[in-house]
Amino acid sequence: MVQDKPSKQRTSKQRKLGRTAALSLTMGALGGIALGAAIDIIDPQLPDVGKLTSFHRAQTITIMALDGQIIQQQGPISRDRIPSGQVPQLLKQAFVASEDRRFYEHGGIDGWGVARALLSNAQQLGIREGASTITQQLARIVFLTQERTLVRKVKEALLALKLERQLNKEQILHQYINNVYLGSNAYGAADAAWVYFSKRPEQLTLPEAALIAGLPPAPSVYSPLVNADLAKQQRQSVLRSMREMGFITREEEQQANGTSLNLKPTEPKHFASAAPYFTEWVDRQLPTILSLDQIERGGLNIRTTLNLAWQRHARQVLQEHRPGAEIQGALVAMDPVTGQVRAMVGGQSFYDSQFNRATQALRSPGSTFKLFVYTAALREGLNPNTLFIDAPTCFGQYCPRNFGNKYFGAITMKDALRRSVNTVAVQAMARIGFGPVVETARALGIEGELGHYWPMALGAYEQTLLGMTTAYAAVNNRGVYVSPTPFLTITGPDGEELWSLEGDQQPGRRALDAQVADTMMWMLQDVVRAGTGIAAQLPDQRPVAGKTGTSQRNRDLWFIGSIPQLTTGVWYGYDDERDTGHLSGEAAWTWKQFMVPIAATLSKQNFPPLPGAMAQRMRQQQLRTLRNRNLPQINQEPPPTTPPADKDQSSDSLVPEPQGPLVDPREGNGDGGHSDAADQGATLLQPLPPPLVESQPPTSDLESGQFNLGDPPLFRLNSLN
C-alpha cells in the first residue's frame, strides 16, 4: 500500500533524527575522551567547588534581631535547609527518578542520557526530554547563569566533572535538593514542603514528594498554585518513573495517582518581616555603610539592634491605646548611650501603608521643641529659677496663647516648662535670641529648615519622630549626641565581617556641656512628676524625664520620655493632619504602657543630680528675689491675666513647692501646643524686645528683675568639649 506524502515526510524526519542521535552518541564517546584531556588544562580556571557550602544567590539578605532571631529574609534565598544526612529517602528517590535516572552511575555527564533524550525527542518530534544531569544542574545553579550558549554548556560540563571528583553522590544530591528553585518563592525542597503543604520535608507523603520533584523543569508552569491539572500530570510522570526504577510498586503508584493534591499553601518562612517598618529603615540605611556592589552580591547577614519582644509589644500597645480607629501612630525606642534603636513602629499597618511615620513623616513637634529653647537658655546663662511674667504678650504681630488662655503671672523657667507655658518659651527665645536656639537644635541633630520666626519656639518647624527622639536621647546621654543606628554587625557570604558597630560607627560627639544636659534632665523630670507629663509616671517611683507636645488644633500628639537606660518617643495623628480630638496625655499614657513591662526588666537608676554649681546659683537668685520688695508674687495657681499688685510676701509663698497633679493623666491638658504657630509664623516680623508689664517696671537690680535681663551666666561654655 502506497503511503501518503505526509507519512513519507514523517518517516524521513524520524530517520534523520535517528541518524543524528547515533552520530551524537559516537561523538559523545569521543568528546568524553577529549573532555578528560581538556579538564586538566582548564580546571584551575574554574570556580572553587569548596564555595558550594556557602552558596547564595545575588541580592539575598538575612536580617536578624539583637538575639539572632530572623526578622526577615529578602531575595531569592533558601529560607529553610535540610541538614546534611537528613534528606528523606522518598525525596531523594523522587528527584532521581524525575531528573537523572542514571545519577548513581555516571560521572557528572551522562552520555547515555544524552542519547536517550535525543531518541525520545525524535520520537516525540520535538524537545520533550532534557539531558542535563543533577550534577550539571547544580553547577549551573551555583556557579553559572541560565543563558543558553555553547560557552555556558561547556563550563557546565567541566564544572560537573569537577564536582563529581571532589564530592560524593550524597553530597551533590543534598546540595541540589536544598538549592533548586521549585516555584512560588520556594528555593529548595524544605521551602517547597512548607509553601505548598505547610509541612516539614520528613512529613511529606509519596504523592506530595512526587509533585515537588516534578517542578524543576518549569516551576512556574507546573506549580499546583498556578495550574493544578498540569501539576497532576507532572506528578503522574514522576510516579511512573519511580515505579520503573523499582522505588515504588504499581499499587503504590496507582494509589498516589488517585490522591487529590491536598494543598495547604502558606507564605515562605521569614518572607514577610516581623518588624516591617524597622526593616524598611534598614534597607534605606544599608547603602550608607556598604557599597552597591556588596549589596548586589548578596549573601549578607545583618545583625540588628532590634529587640524583637519589645517590637511586638510596641506594635500591640500602639494598636490598643490609639485614641481613634483611623489615627496613625509611631514609636521609637533607643539606647541613648549607643544610639541603638530597640523598637520602631512607623504606622498601624505596613500592609495598608508602607510610609514610615517614625522616620519619614514631618510633623509639627509642638511643645516638645521647647527642649531646644530652654536648653539654649541654660547654655546662655539662665537658670531654672530665672523669672518671667506669664501674661498675654505679643511679639510684633505674633501673640502666642497658653492652653485654655490660662496665665500664671510671675513664674520660674522650670515651672514654665513643667506647665508647658507658651508665652514664657517665646520670651526665653526673645531673651537669648534666635541664634542660640537654632545652634542648640543643630547640635542635637535637628536638620531641615529652622528660620528666625517666633513660632519656632512652639514647634512651627516640622520634624521626624526619630530626629526628635534622638535629640532627647542626647540630652539623656549627658550631652553626647550619638547617631541612631539599626546595625550591630554585617557579614558577607563567606562569613567575613563587612561592618561592625564597635569598629565602624562614628563616635558620639559632645553637643552640650554635661552640666547643661543634667540641668535640663532635672527640669524634665519635674514635667512628669507634677506637670503635663504626669500620665507617663512609672511604678515604684522610678525617675522619668520627658515632655508632651500638641500641635495646633490637636493635629499631632507627642510624648518623648526617658529613663536613664532608654529614650522613647510616641506620636499620634492623622495622615491628612485633621484634628485628633485628643490631647498629648494620650501619647504619654501610651508611652507608659510601653515602658511598664520593659522598665521591670531594667535596674532602677537615677538621673545625674542637679549640678552643685547650678543649685548654688538658684539659691543665690532665690535670696535676691526674697530681698526684692518690688517683685510680684510667684503665683502657682492660675491667676488673672494681669499680674497681681505688689504686697509683702512670705518666703514660703515666694518659693512654693511643686503642686500635685494638674490634669487627669489621660487628658493631659495644660500642654502648650495650641499656639496658632503654623498659621501666623509665615507673616511675622523680626524679633522685638519682650514687652514689660506696666504695673511692674524693671528694677535697678538686674538679676532680680522680672525678666532677669542681667542674670550673669553660671557657666559660659567656651567649647563643647
Residue-wise pLDDT tens digits, 506-555: 889 999 999 999 999 999 999 999 999 999 999 989 999 999 999 999 99
**Distances in whole angstroms, Cα of residue 248 to Cα of each of 187, 251, 252:** 27, 8, 6
Instruction: Give the closest residue to 449 by CA, choosing from 434, 463, 428.
Output: 463
Classified by CATH at the fold level, domain 342-704 comes out as: Beta-lactamase (3.40.710)
Instruction: Give the closest residue to 387 by CA, choosing from 19, 103, 699, 64.
Output: 699
Helix (H, G, I), strand (E, B) or coil at 409: strand
* Distance from chain centroid for Cα 14: 62
Q: Which pLDDT does position 34 carry in this prediction?
A: 55
DSSP assignment of 502-513: HHHSPPPEE-S-
Task: Say if residue 114's pLDDT is above 80.
Answer: no
The DSSP bridge pattern shows strands 61-64 and 300-304 to be parallel
Whether 463 and 558 have beta carbons less than 8 Å apart is answered as: no
Domain range annotation of the chain: 342-704
Mean pLDDT on 8-37: 51
DSSP assignment of 130-159: ----HHHHHHHHHHS-S---HHHHHHHHHH
Task: Say if residue 215's pLDDT is above 70.
Answer: yes
Task: Say if residue 234's pLDDT is above 90.
Answer: yes
How far apart are alpha carbons 236 and 242 in whole angstroms?
10
Mean pLDDT on 34-45: 60
- 9 or 615, greater pLDDT: 615
Query: pLDDT band at 35, cuts 50/70/90?
Result: low
Flag the least confident range among 344-353, 529-538, 668-677.
Answer: 668-677
The angle subtended at Cα 561 by Cα 557 and Cα 567, nearest 5°, is 120
Mean pLDDT on 623-637: 58
Q: For residue 433, give the C-alpha cell.
A: 535670641
Task: Say if residue 496's pLDDT is above 50.
Answer: yes
- 257 or 720, greater pLDDT: 257
- pTM of the predicted model, to two decimals? 0.78
Calculate the dihedral angle through the C-alpha atoms of 703, 706, 709, 711, rounding to the nearest 10 degrees. Answer: 30
How far apart are alpha carbons 211 and 224 in whole angstroms?
8
Task: Say if residue 566's pLDDT is above 60.
Answer: yes
Q: Which pLDDT does position 244 carry in this prediction?
A: 96
Residue-wise pLDDT tens digits, 244-278: 999 999 999 999 999 999 999 999 989 999 999 99
Query: pLDDT band at 142, cuts 50/70/90?
Result: confident
Mean pLDDT on 281-308: 95
Task: Say if residue 654's pLDDT is above 60.
Answer: no
As a whole-number percent, the residues of the chain with pLDDT over 90 amount to 66
Mean pLDDT on 588-606: 97
Q: Which pLDDT does position 707 carry in this prediction?
A: 26
Query: pLDDT band at 653, cuts 50/70/90?
Result: very low
Mean pLDDT on 449-477: 97
Q: Which pLDDT does position 78 carry in this prediction?
A: 82
Query: pLDDT band at 649, cuts 50/70/90?
Result: very low
Mean pLDDT on 217-227: 93
